[in-house]
Structure 1
Amino acid sequence: MKKPTLPAEAQSAVSLRPTIELVSVFSADNNGGNPAPIVLDAAGMSDAQMQAVAQRYGHESGFVLPAPAGSGCDFEFRFWVPNHEMSMCGHATVGAVWLLHKTGRLDSDRLTIHTSSGRVEARIAGFSTDDASVEISQPAGRIEPLPQPQISRDEILDALGIDDTQLAPLPIQNACTSRVKTLVPLASAAILNTLEPRFDKIGPLCERIGSTGLYPYATVDARQQIFDARQFPRASGYPEDAATGIAASALSFGLLANGLVEASTRTITIRQGYAMKRPSQISVRFSFKDDNGSAIPDGCWIGGPVRYEAGAGAPS
């Protein structure tokens, strides 16, 4: 089947000096998704140059390098936000794999990626004449109570500018597949989308509770496993994310632990970015392993739409 292609200027760029390609990942419409600058030929770039890309665009940025010798991987990916390097970024990984596929750089529909947080599997899950669907793996989630639960809870409510009556009757928890997120269950999507956080309090609070961001969420359609969420990062250099794949995967395991989703391969849909007018949609599906005849979740696959925006130029 013929693979879809990028615009001609983007195709020609791959044979020249490293260039920044801008994609929007997990986009729910033509204005949605989380923008991600991607450099497909980042070998030789310094840390300062990579960070400068993230600072220039104000978004998580992904950099594709040759895999380390002996790693058994196909590529190495690195990730930067304006303030620091990240160990893993879900939407930049999806966007980079999508670009590698679009520019004809993949020999297979499956690949293994070396990241600072560990090995990540990626697969091209479907083809069409116009697009391809990318999914990436995450390990099984770890769910933990907050340190000093009542004090932490009060501080979280204060930082989000809400009170107890606006919470759903579920625990606030830390959850992690690659990076720890604090899951805050709210009573409705209306409360979620009208939050006005006190951003100056979020960084110090997240440091105290061992989290990289607050991830408040609300149930939209329990039967269809649809949830809305917002991500307020600890110290990325911007106040909110339009779509956060790593947080969505952590949330899915939190939902499972609290009986809100099935232990099955049914799709869990996490919608994000609506309050930012960047509507986004992340699909999560659990993977399973056999444990003495019982199938238990051993991870998940996350994916969603990708939209090419522009060739943004050369790294400075």
Structure 2
Amino acid sequence: MSYPIYQVDAFTSEIFKGNPAAVMPLEEWLPDETLQALAAENNLSETAFFVRGSDTSNYDFHIRWFTPGVEVPLCGHATLASAWVIFHKLHWPAEQIRFHSKSGPLGVGRTPDDWLVLDFPNLPIEEQETPKIISEALDSTPRTVFYVPADTNYMAVLESEAAVLAAQPDMRKLMQLGNQGLIITAPGETADFVSRYFAPGAGIDEDPVTGSTHSVLVPYWAKRLGRTRLEARQVSARGGLLHCELKGDRVGIAGQAAFYMEGTVHMP
């Protein structure tokens, strides 16, 4: 059997920047262990798989995302990459795509200048004392952090963009969190806010640009800065730019995409 595969750099207009995602359209779902094996073989932070919805369903595609180690409930950059493939390679005629996912309905729209706008949930956070694992893994962690129940992440707010850039967390310590990640963020000098994201327990030491974490970051910074439209930068080595908007219980996350590669996966 053979299956098409695409690789797209998300949240950037240039290849070799942003966050690369593998995208595999399927006619029907393969066994979960096969999907996981494919994601491990691709060895990118996420591989997105999607299947066309039925004529009677209230969505266009069912989408799932896998890291090299686990399936995740929500992923922004691989959703954006999937939408780029659907619009540009599968020639989707509409200006909107409706996805069904483990995190509920998700949408992606296309602007006239070819930015893609994710319609994601606004994820609540809970402030709590910083877990010992995190404080041991990152010297600059404050006394309290925020926990994200819906996405099994923690968020630490640091003092400055310089502190975010300088952070060197102990990945062996963070791995003890298991399938949980750590977002670090601060007010930005080059944008309204900046962030980085680490999830070694899920097979990702540092994710280049993480769309889904902005379902948490945007509501937090919108409240703190007193406005709903924000520019965000993820300041990893590859880096990425996101235009964000808080829309009540939803978050708009806009980015560009750069097409890198397409091919065929052959399996017995």
Which consecutive unaligned segments of at least 5 residues does structure 1 have?
1-15, 288-296
Alpha-carbon distance in structure 1 between the residues aligned to 2:160 and 2:50? 39
The answer to whether the 8 A contact 2:15-2:259 is kept is: no
Residues 69 and 213 of structure 1: CA distance in aligned 2, closer, same or farther (over 3 Å): farther
Alignment match, 1:182: 154
The 2-side partners of 1:313 and 1:161 are apart by 45
Give the equivalent residue in structure 2 for 1:78: 64
1:189-268 → structure 2 map (5 Å cutoff): 189-204=161-176, 206=177, 212-221=180-189, 226-233=192-199, 235-257=201-223, 259-262=224-227, 264=228, 266=229, 268=230
Question: Could you tell me which of 71, 84, 93 is aligned with 1:107?
Answer: 93
Residue of structure 1 equivalent to 2:18: 33
Does the C-alpha gap of structure 1 residues 315 and 42 become closer, same or farther in structure 2, counting only changes over 3 Å?
Answer: farther
Q: How does 1:34-183 map to 2 (within 5 A)?
A: 34-41=19-26, 43-59=28-44, 60-67=46-53, 70-127=56-113, 132-146=114-128, 149=129, 152=131, 154-162=132-140, 172-175=145-148, 179-183=151-155
Report 1:286-297 matches (<5 A).
286-287=246-247, 297=248
Instruction: Give the RMSD, CA atoms, in angstroms.
Output: 2.5
Task: Specify whether residues 31 and 281 from structure 1 end up closer, same or farther in structure 2 by C-alpha distance, changes over 3 A only.
Answer: same
Q: Give unmatched runs, 5+ long, in structure 2.
A: none
| TM-score (structure 2 length as normaliser) | 0.89
Aligned residue for 2:239? 279
Cα 1:46–1:105 change in 2 (3 A) is farther
Q: CA deviation at 1:193?
A: 1.5
| Alpha-carbon shift at residue 58 of structure 1 (Å) | 1.6
Structure ID, larger Rg: 1
Counterpart-to-counterpart distance in 2, 1:110 and 1:29: 24
Whether contact under 8 Å (1:160, 1:195) holds in the other structure is yes
Identity of aligned residues (%): 23
Q: Is the 8 A contact 2:222 2:246 kept in 1?
A: no
SS in 2 for 1:27: coil
**Matched AA of 1:282:** L
> What do the CA deviations read for 1:277-302 (whole angstroms, capped 9, x no partner)?
21211221122xxxxxxxxx221111
CA distance in 1, matches of 2:54, 2:126: 33
Distance 1:54 1:303 in 2: 25
- Alignment size in residue pairs: 266
SS at match of 1:228: strand
Q: Amino acid of the residue matched to residue 240 of structure 1?
A: E
